[in-house]
């Protein structure tokens, strides 16, 4: 994979979102890769982002009995909206270039704010934080496949083998290391939800890699870029929460534990991680930064052990090796051929 294969891999995202950038830095990283070097500052920023995203999965698992997943997603982004508004309110003015691009930002918001995070919290109601983050770690491979089938990007034999390895790791997680479960289709719904979320996030990332219709002033301001997506994403998040309360046995148990959890996920994974990841990408480029995403399952395993009592199993380690090997193999550049 080259730099375009890791666009905004973990935004908000993300978890991971969220691989956004401080947009001018993102452009520089894409255009001058030879000038980018790993530094202690870059490693610290990227590691901080992955810890926050791992914490998002663990906290989401911890509070799933206190709040329904769609409602949790809505509150998360309402808090993020309040944090971002003072920093980037200009993007919502009548003369803002956002409104001329509203269809694109509405789709970006639907894929990231409204659907990806909602699917993640929905997955955590039936699956563990370790499983969810491991399945999510396969996102670069889905980016490879979606790039091939939807954007016409060629795929090499090495990348194909890497995709097979990573998908094998995802399947290993979904069957809990017992292949007989695949025959009986006894899979946990949460893993399937996260698999769909990872595919949607990959498509979102490719949209960010083709920013021809986006306004340069918005992309140059990380807070404005996130706020523009949040505004439209909140519409979808509100609709999903409304359906949840209409059609299901939704729950909301107010109290200090839930308030603390909402404060964390609304400020940490939704905003601070976005800024840290973007600054890190600006320093080392998206290709190098993409490999830090492999730290999320490791941090999730550590945090799950400490706070949830969910100890890692042998199949978790095997799945991580397969997924990481597949990504590394896919990302390796072919050896250059010297001509005389």
pLDDT tens sequence across 270-284: 999 888 887 887 787
Q: How confident is the model at residue 335 (pLDDT cuts 50, 70, 90)?
A: low
109 or 4, higher pLDDT: 109
Contact between 92 and 43 (Cβ < 8 Å): no
d(CA 270, CA 138): 21
**113 has a pLDDT exceeding 50:** yes
**142 has a pLDDT exceeding 60:** yes
Average pLDDT, the chain: 78
Q: How confident is the model at residue 8 (pLDDT cuts 50, 70, 90)?
A: very low
Contact between 137 and 293 (Cβ < 8 Å): yes
The reported pLDDT for the residue numbered 117 is 85
Q: Which residues contact 45 (CB under 8 A, 6 or more apart)?
A: 276, 277, 279, 280, 283
Which of 59-68, 86-95, 311-320 has the least mean pLDDT? Answer: 311-320
Q: Which domain holds residue 278?
A: 3-331
The reported pLDDT for the residue numbered 27 is 41
Residue 221's alpha-carbon distances to 57, 106, 139, 225, 277, in angstroms, are 27, 18, 26, 6, 14
179 domain residue, yes or no: yes
208 domain residue, yes or no: yes
Q: What percent of the chain has pLDDT over 90?
A: 30
209 domain residue, yes or no: yes
The reported pLDDT for the residue numbered 82 is 97
**62 has a pLDDT exceeding 50:** yes
Which of 79-83, 173-177, 224-228 has the least mean pLDDT? Answer: 173-177
Query: Hey, how many other C-beta atoms are within 10 angstroms of the C-beta on 317?
Result: 12
48 domain residue, yes or no: yes
- Identify the three-state secondary structure at position 19: coil
- Identify the three-state secondary structure at position 17: strand
**84 has a pLDDT exceeding 90:** yes
Q: What is the mean pLDDT of residues 98-119?
A: 90
Q: What sign results for the dihedral spanned by CA atoms 161, 166, 172, 175?
A: negative
Q: What is the mean pLDDT of residues 180-202?
A: 76
**32 has a pLDDT exceeding 50:** no
158 domain residue, yes or no: yes
164 or 110, higher pLDDT: 110
What is the domain count for the chain?
Answer: 1
Q: How confident is the model at residue 42 (pLDDT cuts 50, 70, 90)?
A: confident
d(CA 166, CA 276): 27
Q: Which residue has the tokens 């906290």?
A: 59
Q: How confident is the model at residue 132 (pLDDT cuts 50, 70, 90)?
A: confident
The reported pTM is 0.77
**83 has a pLDDT exceeding 80:** yes
Q: How confident is the model at residue 183 (pLDDT cuts 50, 70, 90)?
A: low
Q: How confident is the model at residue 15 (pLDDT cuts 50, 70, 90)?
A: very low
Q: How confident is the model at residue 2 (pLDDT cuts 50, 70, 90)?
A: very low
d(CA 273, CA 208): 18
Q: How confident is the model at residue 310 (pLDDT cuts 50, 70, 90)?
A: confident
State the burial class of residue 196 (Cβ atoms within 10 Å of its Cβ: 0-12, 13-18, 19+).
Answer: middle
The reported pLDDT for the residue numbered 129 is 82
Contact between 193 and 123 (Cβ < 8 Å): yes
d(CA 78, CA 154): 40
Q: What is the mean pLDDT of residues 61-88?
A: 95
338 domain residue, yes or no: no
Choose among 208, 157, 169, 96: nearest CA to 332: 157
d(CA 194, CA 210): 25
Q: How confident is the model at residue 224 (pLDDT cuts 50, 70, 90)?
A: very high
Q: What is the mean pLDDT of residues 229-235?
A: 95
Q: How confident is the model at residue 212 (pLDDT cuts 50, 70, 90)?
A: low
The reported pLDDT for the residue numbered 31 is 40
Q: What is the mean pLDDT of residues 232-253?
A: 93
Helix spans in the chain (H): 11-14, 24-31, 40-62, 69-88, 102-109, 117-123, 129-136, 139-151, 157-174, 180-184, 189-208, 216-219, 222-247, 256-267, 273-284, 286-290, 295-307, 314-331
336 domain residue, yes or no: no
The reported pLDDT for the residue numbered 55 is 93
State the burial class of residue 337 (Cβ atoms within 10 Å of its Cβ: 0-12, 13-18, 19+).
Answer: exposed
340 domain residue, yes or no: no
Residue 103's alpha-carbon distances to 108, 147, 205, in angstroms, are 9, 22, 16
């Amino acid at each position: 994979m080259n730099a375009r294969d890791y666009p905004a891999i973990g935004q908000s995202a993300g978890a991971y979102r969220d691989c956004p950038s401080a947009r001018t830095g993102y452009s520089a990283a894409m255009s001058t890769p030879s000038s980018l070097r790993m530094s202690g500052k870059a490693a610290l920023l990227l590691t901080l982002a992955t810890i926050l995203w791992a914490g998002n999965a663990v906290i989401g698992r911890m509070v799933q009995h206190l709040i329904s997943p769609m409602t949790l997603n809505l509150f998360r982004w309402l808090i993020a909206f309040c944090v971002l508004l003072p920093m980037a309110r200009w993007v919502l003015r009548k003369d803002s270039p956002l409104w001329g691009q509203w269809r694109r930002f509405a789709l970006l918001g639907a894929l990231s704010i409204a659907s990806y995070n909602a699917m993640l919290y929905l997955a955590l109601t039936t699956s563990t934080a370790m499983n969810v983050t491991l399945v999510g770690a396969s996102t670069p491979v889905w980016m490879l496949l979606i790039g091939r089938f939807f954007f016409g990007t060629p795929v090499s034999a090495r990348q194909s083998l890497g995709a097979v390895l990573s998908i094998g790791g995802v399947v290993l997680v979904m069957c809990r290391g017992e292949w007989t479960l695949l025959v009986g289709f006894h899979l946990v719904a949460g893993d399937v939800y996260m698999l769909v979320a990872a595919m949607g996030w990959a498509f979102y990332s490719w949209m960010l890699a083709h920013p021809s219709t986006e306004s340069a002033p918005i992309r140059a301001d990380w807070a404005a870029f996130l706020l523009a997506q949040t505004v439209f994403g909140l519409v979808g998040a509100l609709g999903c929460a409304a359906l949840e309360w209409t059609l299901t046995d939704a729950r909301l148990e107010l109290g200090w534990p839930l308030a603390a959890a909402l404060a964390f996920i609304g400020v940490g994974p939704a905003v601070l991680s976005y800024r840290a990841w973007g600054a890190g990408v600006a320093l080392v480029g998206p290709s190098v930064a993409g490999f830090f995403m492999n730290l999320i399952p490791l941090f999730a395993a550590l945090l799950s052990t400490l706070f949830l009592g969910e100890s890692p199993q042998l199949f978790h380690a095997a799945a991580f090796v397969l997924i990481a090997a597949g990504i590394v193999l896919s990302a390796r550049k072919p050896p250059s051929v010297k001509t005389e």
